Structure 1
Amino acid sequence: MAIVMIVAHRVFLLEICIFYIFSSGVESLPCVHPIVWSPLLQEHEVTENPENVNIPQINLNSSMPLIEADIAVELDRNAIGNESYFWKLPIPYILGDGLGLNAKAIILQTFEHFRLKTCIDFKPYDGDDAFLHLQKLDGCWSFIGRIGGGQNLSIGERCDSAAVVQHELLHALGFFHEHSRSDRDDYITIHWEAMEPDAKHNFIKKNVEKDTFNTPYDYFSIMHYPPWFFSNDKNKPTISTNILHFQKLIGQTYDMSDNDIAKLNHLYNCTSSLALLDQCTFETLNICGMIQQTVNDQQWIHAFGGNIQGDHTLTHTNQNFGHYMLLNTSFGREGHVAVLESRYFHPKRKEQCLEFSFKMNGGPQDRLAIWMIMYEEDDAEQKAENVGVITGKEVKLEIWHLAHFQLQSNTKRFRYAFQGMLGETGAVKDGGIAFDNIILTETSCPMAVWHVHNFSSLLFSLLPNDKVISPCFIGHDGYGFGLVLKPHGGKVKGYTSIFFQLCSTKDDGKLIWPAINQQVLITVLDQTPDVLLRRSFSRSFVTKIDELHSGKPNTSAWHQPSMAGSYHQHCDCFRGPGYGWTKFISHVYLRRYKLIRNGDIFISIDFQDVSNLHQTERPIGSSST
Structure 2
Amino acid sequence: MKKTTFPILALLASVGIASLTGCSKEQEAAVPTGSAAKQDAKVEEAYPSQTGTTLAGKFGGESIAYQQINGENVFEGDILLTQEQVRSERAQTESAGRNTGKWPSAVVYYTIDANLPNQARVTDAIAHWQANTPVRFVRRTTQSSYVTFQVGSGCSSNIGMIGGRQYINLASGCSTGNTIHEIGHAVGLFHEQTRNDRDTFVNILTQNIQSGYANNFSKYSASGYTGTDFGALDFGSIMMYGSFSFSSNGQPTITKKDGSTFNIQRNGLSVGDKSGIDIMY
Larger strand fraction of residues: 1
Q: Does 1:226 align with 2:215?
A: no
User: What SS is found at the alignment partner of 1:84?
Assistant: coil
1:169 counterpart = 2:158: no
1:57 deviates by 9.0
Alpha-carbon shift at residue 92 of structure 1 (Å): 0.8
C-alpha displacement of 1:73: 2.2
Q: Would you say the 8 A contact 1:92–1:131 is kept in 2?
A: yes
Give the aligned residue type for 2:166.
Q
**Alignment length, in residue pairs?**
212
How far does residue 191 in structure 1 lie from its aligned partner after superposition?
A: 1.1
The structure richer in helix per residue is: 2
Alpha-carbon distance in structure 1 between the residues aligned to 2:235 and 2:141: 39
Structure 1: state its 5+ residue gaps: 1-49, 269-625
Partner of 1:96: 113
Distance 2:266 2:202 in 1: 19
Specify the code of the residue in structure 2 equivalent to 1:193. Q
Q: Match of 1:69?
A: 77
> Which position in structure 1 is the counterpart of 2:217?
203
SS at match of 2:238: coil
The answer on 1:254 being equivalent to 2:254 is no
Contact 2:46 2:154 in 1 (8 A): no
Question: Residue 568 of structure 1 corresponds to which residue in structure 2?
Answer: none
Give 1:90 deviation, angstroms: 2.2
Q: Distance in 2 between matches of 1:241 and 1:221?
A: 14
3-state DSSP class of the match of 2:249? coil
Runs of at least 5 residues in structure 2 that lack an aligned partner in the other structure? 1-38, 51-68
How many angstroms apart in 2 are the aligned matches of 1:56 and 1:149?
23
Cα deviation per residue 1:345-376 (whole Å; 9 max; x = unaligned)?
xxxxxxxxxxxxxxxxxxxxxxxxxxxxxxxx
Amino acid in structure 2 at the alignment position of 1:95: I
Given that 1:56 and 1:230 are in contact with CA atoms closer than 8 Å, whether structure 2 keeps it comes out as: no
2:11 maps to which residue?
A: none
2:135 to 101, 106, 120: 120
Corresponding residue for 2:148?
133
CA distance, structure 2, for counterparts of residue 147 and residue 174 of structure 1:
10
Partners of 2:111 and 2:148 within 8 A in 1: yes
Question: Are the structure 2 counterparts of residues 118 and 79 from structure 1 closer, same or farther at C-alpha, using a change threshold of 3 Å?
Answer: farther
Cα displacement (A) at 1:94:
0.6
Distance 2:44 2:237 in 1: 16
Per-residue deviation, 1:51: 4.3
Q: CA deviation at 1:193?
A: 1.5
Is 1:239–2:254 an aligned residue pair?
A: yes
Q: Is the 8 A contact 2:255 2:262 kept in 1?
A: no
- Equivalent of 1:86, from 95, 98, 102? 102
C-alpha displacement of 1:97:
1.2
Aligned twin of 2:56:
none
- CA distance in structure 1 between the aligned counterparts of 2:187 and 2:93, rounded to whole angstroms: 8
Change (3 A) 1:116 1:143: same
Match of 1:52 in 2: 41
Aligned letter for 1:168? E
CA distance in 2, matches of 1:95, 1:57: 18
In the TM superposition, what is the alpha-carbon distance from 1:93 to its structure 2 partner? 0.4
Q: Contact 1:79/1:145 (CA < 8 Å) preserved in 2? A: no
Larger Rg belongs to? 1
Distance in 1 (alpha carbons) for counterparts of 2:93 and 2:255: 27
User: SS of 2:212's equivalent?
Assistant: helix
Amino acid at match of 1:183: D
Contact preservation (8 Å) 2:128, 2:268: no
Letter aligned with residue 55 of structure 1: E
What SS class does the counterpart of residue 213 from structure 2 fall into? helix
TM-score normalised to structure 1 length: 0.32
In 2, Cα distance between equivalents of 1:79 and 1:107: 33
* Match for residue 156 of structure 1 among 171, 176, 185: 171
Distance between the aligned counterparts of 1:258 and 1:224, measured in 2?
Answer: 13
CA contact (8 A) 2:93 2:226 kept: no
Q: Is the 8 A contact 2:77 2:213 kept in 1?
A: no
Change beyond 3 A, Cα 1:131–1:54: same
For the structure 1 residues 79 and 155, does the alpha-carbon distance in structure 2 shift closer, same or farther, using more than 3 Å as the test?
farther
Counterpart amino acid of residue 73 in structure 1? L
**Percent identity between the aligned chains?**
25
Matches of 1:84 and 1:206, distance apart in 2? 15
Per the TM alignment, residue 206 of structure 1 is displaced from its structure 2 partner at its CA by 1.4
1:138-537 matches, cutoff 5 A: 138-159=153-174, 161-207=175-221, 208-210=225-227, 212=229, 214-234=230-250, 236-245=251-260, 247-249=261-263, 251-268=264-281
- Write the distance in 1 (CA, Å) between the matches of 2:93 and 2:258: 30
Q: CA deviation at 1:79?
A: 11
DSSP-derived class of the 2:100 partner: helix
Once the two structures are superposed, residues 420-442 of structure 1 have per-residue CA deviations (whole angstroms, 9 ceiling, x without a partner) of: xxxxxxxxxxxxxxxxxxxxxxx
Per-residue displacement from partner, 1:83-142 (whole Å, max 9, x unpaired)?
Answer: 031002321101011211x2x122112222112111110111111110001101221000
Q: Which amino acid aligns with 1:220?
A: G
For the 8 Å contact 1:182–1:205, the answer to whether it is kept is: yes
Match of 1:499 in 2: none
